[in-house]
Amino acid sequence: MAKQFTNIAFTEGVKQAQTDYGSREIYQKFEQRGISEDVLSAREIEFIGARDSFYMGTVNSNNYPYIQFRGGPVGFLKVLHEKTLGFVDFVGNLQYLSVGNLRENDRVFLFLMDYAHRRRLKIWGRAQVIDDNPELLEALSDPNYQAQKARVFLIKVEAFDWNCPQHIPIRYSEAEVAQMTEPFLARIQELEKQVAQLQTSHQS
């Protein structure tokens, strides 16, 4: 089954580009198999829950796109339902570009990256900005993350798609590097201890 994102992303302009560059026949057959409802599965839920950042796209009334980086503790973007995401918006530079854009156009696009394993997930949706719900704000917050909480974003997922790994550079976060090097550091400490013991025995 073709994914719902083809109904959103494959505009007439995109279809014409596919025709011009020779890939339209492939995707037309893909679409003819029928469109499935995009519901987040265990695979997407696990991937989303492991992220500590993502990129969010909105569009303003001048039809210009705006991309914003969103970061927080691992899992701060939460799956509330198989078609609903939520996250806490932290206080930033007070420009409110994304918030303002969403007041005029609730369409939103999320781009989630896993550089270490060369995976990326695209999500199309409709966003709602909630300013006056302290219970929801606390429910979606990480008490151990020291940041000033401002509001909540709820996103109804309309479509998603996994990108191919081609051309994704492999990069590791500080936490991932620490996890990877931990056994080596432990081994170094063990060897240093053995060396110290040998030196002591030779001296005595």
- pTM, whole model, 2 decimals? 0.85
Query: If we measure between CA atoms, which residue out of 147, 129, 149, 124 comes closest to residue 139?
Result: 149
- Domain ranges, ordered by start, for the chain: 1-37, 38-170, 172-204
Contact 6, 35 (CB under 8 A): yes
Contact 97, 62 (CB under 8 A): no
CATH 2.30.110.10 fits 38-170, yes or no: yes
Q: Which residue has the tokens 């505009």?
A: 11
Contacts of 94 (CB under 8 A, 6+ apart): none
Which helix (H) or strand (E) segment holds residue 87: the answer is strand 84-90
Choice among 19-33, 39-53, 124-138 with the minimum mean pLDDT: 19-33
Distance (Å, whole) CA 141 – CA 134:
10
pLDDT given at position 3: 77
